[in-house]
Chain A
Amino acid sequence: MMATPPLRSPLGRAIGLGSAKEGLGHWWAQRITALALVPLALWFVVAVVELAGADRAMVVAWVRQPLPAVLLVSLLIATFYHGALGLQVVIEDYIKNDALRFGLVIIMRLLAIVFVLRGIFAVIKLSLGA
């Protein structure tokens, strides 16, 4: 059996730069979360339109129903996952300095985790009767 010829150029191999093998996973995750967000975002808009002018008691009563609670948590996870993937691409496109770019991506991801947890815990607290 013949060995597969390397697709990488000798120069590319010497410099050591190239695919970090993570691009496909990022690409897929961005599309899967996008697909999930189509119905979730439409549901959320309809719900918010129906809640227009509602006071806190009505909003709390709405969140306490099982379906809105589960969909809200799904929306939060899909939104912040999709958003973190998108913001990462934006940071990588415009920040040339390696250390700064790396640092900003880490900080952005940590912030996304903090915000999504804050949102999920709010939904849980309301569901359990705040």
Chain B
Amino acid sequence: MTSDPRPLSPHLQIYRWQLTSVLSILHRVAGLALAVGAILLVWWLGAAADGPEAYAGMQAFLGSWVGRILLFGWSLALFYHLCNGLRHLWWDSGRGLELKSVYGGGWAVVAGTIVLTLVAWIAATLGSQ
């Protein structure tokens, strides 16, 4: 097979990891995780509507280690996708597209995600005691 002489983009693994590309990939990963979280939300509402037995089963699952990790991942994905989504909406308005703002916003999203996730879990833990 003759190869096309046009220049090709290097393979993905050639590139050095950068904040911008990592956050972009994570936005999609978080979005996929939130699709799973949306099913969890429907399951929760459905179990509450179905009755005490169904709800107890769901509560047992969410209280288990797997359930806890799932809930934590859901909250992390939600806060990340929310913060980075706001960054995307800001870009859509044609603003913040200079390299400096892109990096500044990126680090702000990382900080915001960590702080919001921690605050939510501390508040939930204190509230449930």
Contact = CB atoms under 8 A, between A and B. Distances in A.
Interface of A: 31, 34-35, 37-38, 41-42, 45, 48-50, 52-53, 56, 59-60, 63, 72, 75-76, 79-80, 83, 86-87, 90, 115-116, 118-119, 121-123, 125-126, 130
Contact of B41 (A50, A59, A76): A76
Given A38-B86, A130-B51, A123 B45 contact: yes
Interface in B25-70: 28, 31-32, 34-35, 38-39, 41-42, 45-46, 48-52, 55-56, 59
Contacts of A35: 89
Contacts of A52: 123-125, 127-128
Given A31-B89, A48-B124, A63-B45, 9 more contacts: A34-B85, A41-B78, A45-B120, A52-B128, A53-B127, A83-B34, A87-B32, A115-B39, A121-B49
26 contacts: A35-B89, A38-B82, A41-B82, A45-B75, A48-B124, A49-B123, A49-B124, A50-B127, A52-B125, A56-B52, A56-B55, A63-B48, A72-B45, A76-B42, A79-B34, A83-B31, A86-B35, A87-B35, A90-B32, A115-B39, A119-B45, A121-B49, A122-B46, A122-B48, A122-B50, A123-B45
A35 B89 CA distance: 8
Contacts of B82: 37-38, 41-42
B92 interface: yes
Interface residues of B, number: 34
A48 B50 CA distance: 19
B49 A122 contact: yes
Interface of B: 28, 31-32, 34-35, 38-39, 41-42, 45-46, 48-52, 55-56, 59, 75, 78, 82, 85-86, 88-89, 92, 120, 123-125, 127-129
